[in-house]
Structure 1
Amino acid sequence: MPTLLVIKASLFGDDGQSSQLANAFTSRWREQYPNGQVLCRDLAADPLPHLTAEAVAGFQAEATERSPTQQASLAMSDTLIAELKQADAVAVALPMYNFTVPSTFKSWMDHVARAGVTFRYTEAGPKGLLETGPLYVFCARGGRYQGTENDTQTRLIEMFFGMLGFAEIHFTYAEGLALGEQAAAEAVGEARERIALLPLSVREGSQ
């Protein structure tokens, strides 16, 4: 039974444009995989704490040496990583805040990037340790940044998820959402049209 993990980072929950695009994709995914399951990690409804030096030390410490706080941080990190490992496809609803990803999503990234667990260091650079399927990213932005030097998100997502082992990444952009009602409606409409054409697949062997 294939599993889709949906990660939502909008401060506005399901009212956010990125969340609505991810929901549209999820509906299409459910039609393709009626026996599949969907896991949702809403980072606005259930925000993660920022990574601390104590938590990092706990990741590296022996089990008997961890403090209760470190044990709790490790358990949370393990849960997030387990969700990724369970997923046969991942969808990320990603708004742009101040030229970058939401801080809640950055906290998620910090808790799943664990050397020796989700990636390892090599002389050629980091190498992913996760068995992954496709990643679908739904970017909602007030201005227009795609293809410009101000699009800091796209390369960050490619680098980060590539480090974990994701080789297939699909981006869908809805831009100019703050440039008037007509521009916003056109951007969302075009994004939904692209969602309808996205190739749907899951991790090999999961069907």
Structure 2
Amino acid sequence: MATLLHIDSALARENSVSRAVTASFREAWEAVHPDGTVIHRDLAAEPVPHIDAEVYGTGFVPAEERTAEQQSAAALREQLIRELEEADAILIGAPLYNYAIPSTLKAWLDHVILPGRTSGTENPSAAGTPVTVVSSRGGSYAEGTPQEGNDFAVPYLTHALGTVLGLKAEFIVPELTLARVVPAMSGLIEAADASAASAHEAASSLGRELGGKLAGATV
């Protein structure tokens, strides 16, 4: 059976476009691979701790000399890394907050990017794993718009997930998600709905395709 690692990082539990689109992917994946395993991490509900000096220094302390706090930190980091390494596919909801990714998602990445193991080697331990990223945006950052070039989430994740971790990244980018709640954007509701519909369609298609391949490979 294949394993899908599903990560959501949107603060909102309801009316979140990124959560809705990742749900479309997951539902399609589970429909064609009902025997598969899904590990869901909701980083808004249960955030992983940001790496502080204590956690960072744990890697330089022999296991038998670590404090209880260092042992706990090392165990959590090992768990997060193993979830990454053992996943057959990864799904990440990454809304654009203040032009970048949520801090909770950055904290997760700080834990799983480990030089000499998941990065910084010729063969990173999770290299080649497909990852689908749903990066929703409240406005539009497309070419020719006033905000062109101000989306630092997709470029960062392209580098962190693709170049650093060696994953095969695919991005789905629903835009104008604030059109229904910001009066000044009311004229963009139709475009927002079209963008959301396209994102759901892409997510469902990728979920079915990937889930089907993995189901066939694990029969």
Which residue of 131, 134, 141 maps to 1:138?
A: 134
For 2:29 and 2:124, locate their aligned partners in 1 and report how far apart those are by CA, in whole Å: 26
Equivalent residue number for residue 105 of structure 2:
105
How far residue 206 of structure 1 moved from its aligned partner, in angstroms, is 4.8
Equivalent residue number for residue 95 of structure 1:
95
Equivalent residue number for residue 182 of structure 2:
none
Counterpart amino acid of residue 128 in structure 1? P
Equivalent residue number for residue 9 of structure 1:
9
Aligned-residue Cα RMSD (Å) equals 2.1
Indicate the larger mover: 57-66 or 11-20.
11-20
Q: How does 1:167-178 map to 2 (within 5 A)?
A: 168-178=168-178
How far residue 114 of structure 1 moved from its aligned partner, in angstroms, is 1.1
How far residue 121 of structure 1 moved from its aligned partner, in angstroms, is 5.0
Equivalent residue number for residue 185 of structure 1:
193
Q: How does 1:52-91 map to 2 (within 5 A)?
A: 52-91=52-91
Q: Is the 8 A contact 1:4 1:39 kept in 2?
A: yes
SS at structure 2 position matched to 1:128: coil
Indicate the larger mover: 70-79 or 96-105.
70-79
Equivalent residue number for residue 164 of structure 1:
165
SS at structure 2 position matched to 1:120: coil
User: Which structure's residues are more often strand, by fraction?
Assistant: 1
Q: 1:22 to 1:109 in 2, by over 3 A?
A: same
The C-alpha deviation readout for 1:27-82, integer Å capped at 9, x for no partner, is: 00111212211110100110111111111110221101211111111111111111
Counterpart amino acid of residue 53 in structure 1? A
For 1:41 and 1:22, locate their aligned partners in 2 and report how far apart those are by CA, in whole Å: 12
Identity %: 33
How far residue 202 of structure 1 moved from its aligned partner, in angstroms, is 4.2
For 2:190 and 2:9, locate their aligned partners in 1 and report how far apart those are by CA, in whole Å: 25
Q: What TM-score do the two structures reach when normalised by structure 1?
A: 0.89
Q: Is the 8 A contact 1:134 1:202 kept in 2?
A: no
Question: Higher relative CO (CA 8 A, sep ≥ 6), structure 1 or 2?
Answer: 2
For 2:110 and 2:91, locate their aligned partners in 1 and report how far apart those are by CA, in whole Å: 18
The C-alpha deviation readout for 1:109-159, integer Å capped at 9, x for no partner, is: 10111112212257xxxx522254211011111011245421211121111
For 1:44 and 1:112, locate their aligned partners in 2 and report how far apart those are by CA, in whole Å: 18
Q: Which has the larger radius of gyration?
A: 2
Q: Is the 8 A contact 1:133 1:202 kept in 2?
A: no
How far residue 97 of structure 1 moved from its aligned partner, in angstroms, is 0.3
For 1:202 and 1:3, locate their aligned partners in 2 and report how far apart those are by CA, in whole Å: 9
Equivalent residue number for residue 40 of structure 2:
40
The C-alpha deviation readout for 1:10-38, integer Å capped at 9, x for no partner, is: 01135421011000100001112122111
Any unmatched runs of 5+ in structure 1? none
For 1:38 and 1:121, locate their aligned partners in 2 and report how far apart those are by CA, in whole Å: 28
For 2:151 and 2:116, locate their aligned partners in 1 and report how far apart those are by CA, in whole Å: 30
